[in-house]
Amino acid sequence: MDSAFEKQMQIIGMLRHVAMACGAGQRPLGSRWTSGLPFRFLGTSSPQSPADASFHSASFSGADRPQVLITGPFLYADVLDYKRLREIVVNNRVTWLFHYSALLSAAGEANVPLARAVNVTGLHNVLDVAAEYHLRLFVPSTIGAFGPTSPRNPAPDLCTQRPRTIYGVSKVYTELMGEYYYYRYGLDFRCLRYPGIISADSQPGGGTTDYAVQIFHDAIRSGKFECNLKASARLPMMYIQDCLRATLEVMDAPAESLSMRTYNINAMSFSPEELAREVLKHLPEFQISYSVDPVLQAIADSWPMTLDDSSARKDWGWKHDFDLPELVTAMLNFHGSDTRVAQAN
């Protein structure tokens, strides 16, 4: 593996631990600096990445390599502390900032004041610091930014957005504020509306689409899974490798190639029953049952069934690698190998 590609894989490894819950932590966020790279990260642990991870367009070279700051659900630096955030940016000569601090849909509804503080006030600090120091800023958005009056199949980049959760409302605000700072202050703000993100090495983190992660844990552990959404609840989803690659690619895209500040990205859409059928191909004894949570189901019913990401594909060459069969294979291989190791130990 050549050194440039290896460094890219290290970046993916660091981003993975932040993006795997897309900000699902229950407290404001912090940092630990990882050395040994030409980047500085707010991260969690030593970088690890799968050998088959690949890039379609992202590349970094020489003096253009960014100094990267990632906010995520950790311990030492509070995104609500503007002075501390500014100090980190200055002392570490940060040039790119990935802002993942947020409470997700279900967790946000359980604690609206905290969600408002982290998702909105934290955003204000990040926007101001990024504008002051001319950073390239990435803040993820979500399918939760759409609402019951949005087109559902598919939802385009530009349409009516009237979400019914504090998470969704805060993400619409994020999109609009980022665009405002771009036009008002010249901030290089970039944003992707993530579908449900499925990661093999993360635990469910308070999101409506988390059933699509929990099902693999339960399938391996007990062979049974109780789903809290209807069998037919179809939602857009994406495997973590595609998510992280899309994020790096849009950040690395030339500014002149971007026709908008916020893009939809899409990979696949499926329902719980469709996911279960794919799992059954690998685990014939697997059983799924349903105990629908009316709050989560109402959220799911207000979200799109699929996203129109044609602008991302046209402007900066986005394309996904993982469809449903590849996703299920990757998830079961990961959890199956973990289970065998645990049993052996």
Query: What residue ranges in the chain does DSSP mark as E strands?
Result: 68-71, 96-99, 136-138, 141-142, 188-194, 196-198, 224-227, 235-239, 262-264, 268-270, 287-290
Residue 174 φ/ψ, nearest 5 degrees: -60, -50
| DSSP conformation letters of 274-316 | HHHHHHHTT-TT-EEEE---HHHHHHHHTS-SSB--HHHHHHH
Q: Dig out the tokens for 211 from the structure.
A: 């059933």
Q: Whole-angstrom distance between the N-terminal and C-terminal Cα of the chain? A: 32
Q: Which two tokens stand for residue 271?
A: 């329902």
Rg of the Cα trace of the chain?
Answer: 19
Helix/strand/coil for 30: strand
For residue 183, how many other CB atoms are within 10 A of its CB? 10
* Catalytic (active-site) positions: 167
